[in-house]
Structure 1
């Protein structure tokens, strides 16, 4: 037994309250080393039949990564308050027990158990339930649709007449989005995520000038109110994007600092290193990156803090938005985000909070700050396998298993899973203009748990590299759309809505060397997904006796034991 690889800590993603009556307990061991694990647990204060007496539950291997196996045991009881616990591990030749003090040969020899001190309902991760059924559609407002030419900024170009640049404008606005709500609904998405709409100098609007006003080129507050109301009437939620890490250069408090220097009442709203303030050759104040036009807020300053929290409250109360996406969230202090969550949840208890973080984000996903982050670790693994084919099937399975173990299950239930965004090349570009690869990316994303997000135009095969190429004008001419891909995406979204195993079920891989295959279970439903990520035909044999196709033209395979898939072929089957 390779004891050096056995790891557990009594918190975070290793033991957590899945709900008010269920604890998940996890442990990590060396890959292919341990045969079985039994979880021993009890109430440390149990006596004479009061409290949970010594009990056991067999743990399940829920995943295997490149180096480790991941195990989980579930303790479910309406009477759970606190437990102490340890693990009984066996590799077929040796059995030992593992507690907080380490390993020993018998249960009676354990000096210190691990402890889960108390299950507080207030500590249970409580993301909005509606998010589990939501599919998002990210819109870059300046490039989606021009519904009101009267508010076009000076120098606006004809729609799609030139390639996108960092400085050109095409007149996209909120009225254009309102006019296209039927398209969005017909697509099958149920949430819209808008990149910033507040007054700013640039076309991307991440350099805010006024957090309390809609940019005039997009409309005004009444336009946003109407957009939210009409979206709600069609069953579509709306999430706005806020930049609380930094302001724009022309934000009035920062302009006051530039004008009045050390005498400015706003000087402590920012991280100014010295006076006078300089922008070149390197700004002598903290910024986003080293971009002098984006001065970083000092969110520990009480006045700046209260101003930003006022902004967060205002747009919920004024326009009834359903979520906040928070830019550069990892560079803002945790104390601010804790206050932020309390502030917005007091107004709207089921508001969805998504932070822009590109890496392991567990410190922000403990239930006191965000509900989700931009799940780029998911994005990179999926693109590595389907788009670039830079990893093997085994490496992909291992990567997804490691990702699953990175966070508690209830975090994954509402994860914001994306394939592309305004910050990444379009997926068709990533796939080398191979639309069959794009289909496989969409299929895996929409068959995975969590809350997926589509980037506008990807569903019709828009092409473009990184910024600014990924921010082209939405194509509305049907002759220039890939209608076959659009119909495929609609079909997937319909299946996801009709079969909750796709959106809710936990993924369980089948180990095969030729085709990617996994099952998803929810309630009484079992779905089976097979994907041939190869340029050669593939055959997949399955164990269940009865399946019927949900895709691939609805053909029946109930009497078959195997299915043949063409190159880049796929199937979703129902048991």
Structure 2
């Protein structure tokens, strides 16, 4: 018998109240059920739905009384989504005969355009490489290269972080990491369990991060040649790995073939002549010196994404940037600042990528809930179909950090169930899940030091290193956080060197060179075990997720698929924590440490502090 005494009137995440669960494809009929207490005396219920993408059109529907369930009245109604795509904000009104009223909502319903999304990305592990800092096959000579760059002779030096004589941080110091260096380590990456290589920008650019593209047609010569890139893709494919490129299409470099602010290129750039074919690509406020730029950074002039010739160059033409590099061997694109690109521009990239390679993937950089993201006053269509296949999952990173800083398992569950409910399943399972990226402090430093220490001087942060006690705590938390990451739906993504114990606060301290020969072997072995766990278990590659515990320092969930169930359990507290599972099943340890005490009602787990463990669940 179902006990309804403590049940709410409505719960959008419970199939007894709403079916189907979460986001729905266009054309779906969504069924709603309200369960008010009989003693409340409600005699009438109405569903009100606001279709945001139809100019906030409102549709009101009566919900019919359909009987009793114990001490609860049941009111039911269905909403036909028809051909609509977008967000629906729905609410309920309950009324009594005496005029009393109760309103519930509004709640979000995401209605998306159904499409086939390649599954390869979300199933396996991704490894993010910042190309200049991974491995160099030789010390390069920068003579003749764009940007007036210079090269550190010592691989282990700090990146340059101080302003130059003009008071600028120009990012012109390079270490010389290259594509041949990556090829040299493909077997190492394969051994980690890597299935996708995600590269930060690799096209010619004057700055070491290469986010100010100078030439989209050319691999940066310090990295190698266009042929080297194709060979790298061939070698990766031969090992069962895919390659994802960083598409920086919102802005170019001030030093570039297109803007040519310093006159390096023989082409007539937009800043040199009003008649330049590239001039319409940019938004000049007062030609040639005043122009729109990304976040006001003069070295990154913003492009005019509505310009037909720019669109043709990036995605619309047969030999466009998007198509040509997929043809050269890439398997997908990660779109830098995707929420600053117009929706139809992103849709054009998606269409071009699929036309060139049917299983090509497009991932967008969005830092918030991608279903509700508003940029430049417009609700974005990122994951509504035909745009981004998945997004960088910064909400998951925030939830993991909050949990392991004492935020409570219940808050993690609430935050992640909101994302699961709001996202189409394909987007939820194709998310790029990271603990750290090139835009965040190193995860080991954050967990070990307990914060970003922005109140300290930049010089202090440049030279900061964890104490032995901080590093031990950071490693314990990183092992547990990484276990959670590898067990969660979406692609577990490791920022180069996190598996080797690299430290560092914000850019550029989070972009130091990989410590070859000085890796933390304990962490490397842990990540290798995580990679094998993810690779070998179907339940972790594509299984559903069900939360078993989420309160205080405890968090546990199961993933199930293909007749297999995996349990992941974490303890963020400073002392051991016990958890009664409440189901009569046997557990086989897979990874991590936890004591299992079999009981008549089901096993009890005792998880050591700051740790996590994974188990194979056997039916009792």
| Same fold? TM cut 0.5 | yes
Q: Which residue does 1:18 correspond to in 2?
A: none
CA contact (8 A) 1:549 1:574 kept: yes
Cα separation, partners in 2 of 1:84 and 1:492, compared to 1, 3 Å: closer
CA contact (8 A) 1:268 1:298 kept: yes
Query: In 2, distance between residues paired with 1:127 and 1:189?
Result: 20
CA contact (8 A) 1:421 1:455 kept: yes
Where do 1:538-553 residues align within 5 Å?
538-545=577-584, 546-552=586-592
CA positional deviation for 1:176: 0.3
Q: Given the two structures, how large is their TM-score scaled by the length of structure 2?
A: 0.75
Where do 1:482-521 residues align within 5 Å?
482-511=520-549, 512-521=551-560
Give the 3-state SS of the residue equivalent to 1:212 in structure 2.
strand
Give the 3-state SS of the residue equivalent to 1:251 in structure 2.
coil
Query: In 1, distance between residues paired with 2:588 and 2:37?
Result: 40
Query: In 1, distance between residues paired with 2:521 and 2:76?
Result: 66
Q: Which residue does 1:209 correspond to in 2?
A: 214
Query: In 2, distance between residues paired with 1:179 and 1:60?
Result: 55
Query: In 2, distance between residues paired with 1:236 and 1:485?
Result: 22
Query: In 2, distance between residues paired with 1:385 and 1:329?
Result: 28
Where do 1:462-481 residues align within 5 Å?
462-477=502-517, 480-481=518-519
CA contact (8 A) 1:328 1:355 kept: yes
Cα separation, partners in 2 of 1:259 and 1:503, compared to 1, 3 Å: closer
Where do 1:344-363 residues align within 5 Å?
344-362=353-371, 363=381
Q: Which residue does 1:320 correspond to in 2?
A: 329
Query: In 2, distance between residues paired with 1:395 and 1:235?
Result: 37
CA positional deviation for 1:174: 0.5
CA contact (8 A) 1:37 1:88 kept: no
CA positional deviation for 1:489: 1.2
Q: Which residue does 2:229 correspond to in 1?
A: 224
CA deviation vs aligned residue, 1:280-302 (integer Å, no higher than 9, x gap):
xxxx2111111111111111111
Query: In 1, distance between residues paired with 2:276 and 2:11?
Result: 66
CA contact (8 A) 1:101 1:113 kept: no
CA positional deviation for 1:417: 1.0
Matched, 1:529 2:568: yes
Q: Which residue does 1:106 correspond to in 2?
A: 65
Where do 1:322-471 residues align within 5 Å?
322-362=331-371, 363-386=381-404, 388-389=405-406, 391-432=407-448, 433=471, 434-471=474-511
CA contact (8 A) 1:547 1:557 kept: no
Cα separation, partners in 2 of 1:544 and 1:171, compared to 1, 3 Å: same
**Aligned with residue 161 of structure 1, among 137, 141, 156:** 156
CA contact (8 A) 2:194 2:531 kept: yes
Matched, 1:198 2:203: yes
Query: In 2, distance between residues paired with 1:555 and 1:494?
Result: 23
CA positional deviation for 1:392: 2.2
Query: In 2, distance between residues paired with 1:466 and 1:509?
Result: 34
Give the 3-state SS of the residue equivalent to 2:559 in structure 1.
strand
Matched, 1:90 2:35: yes
CA contact (8 A) 1:134 1:191 kept: yes
**Aligned with residue 286 of structure 2, among 274, 278, 284:** 274
Give the 3-state SS of the residue equivalent to 2:494 in structure 1.
strand
CA positional deviation for 1:113: 5.1
Query: In 1, distance between residues paired with 2:115 and 2:429?
Result: 11
CA deviation vs aligned residue, 1:414-460 (integer Å, no higher than 9, x gap):
11111111111010011023110111110111010011210000001
Q: Which residue does 1:305 correspond to in 2?
A: 311
Q: Which residue does 1:569 correspond to in 2?
A: 611
Q: Which ranges of structure 1 fall in alignment gaps of 5 or more residues? A: 1-30, 39-57, 62-70, 279-283
Q: Given the two structures, how large is their TM-score scaled by the length of structure 1?
A: 0.81
RMSD: 2.9
Give the 3-state SS of the residue equivalent to 1:247 in structure 2.
coil
CA contact (8 A) 1:507 1:519 kept: yes
Cα separation, partners in 2 of 1:97 and 1:172, compared to 1, 3 Å: same
Cα separation, partners in 2 of 1:427 and 1:306, compared to 1, 3 Å: same
CA contact (8 A) 2:486 2:492 kept: yes
CA positional deviation for 1:132: 2.9
CA positional deviation for 1:35: 6.4
Q: Which residue does 2:252 correspond to in 1?
A: 247
Query: In 1, distance between residues paired with 2:65 and 2:578?
Result: 49
Q: Which ranges of structure 2 fall in alignment gaps of 5 or more residues? A: 1-5, 48-58, 68-74, 86-111, 144-148, 161-170, 261-267, 372-380, 449-470
CA deviation vs aligned residue, 1:200-220 (integer Å, no higher than 9, x gap):
101111111110011110000
Query: In 2, distance between residues paired with 1:574 and 1:144?
Result: 35
CA contact (8 A) 2:282 2:291 kept: yes
Q: Which residue does 1:144 correspond to in 2?
A: 134
CA contact (8 A) 1:60 1:73 kept: no
Cα separation, partners in 2 of 1:117 and 1:385, compared to 1, 3 Å: same
CA positional deviation for 1:269: 0.9
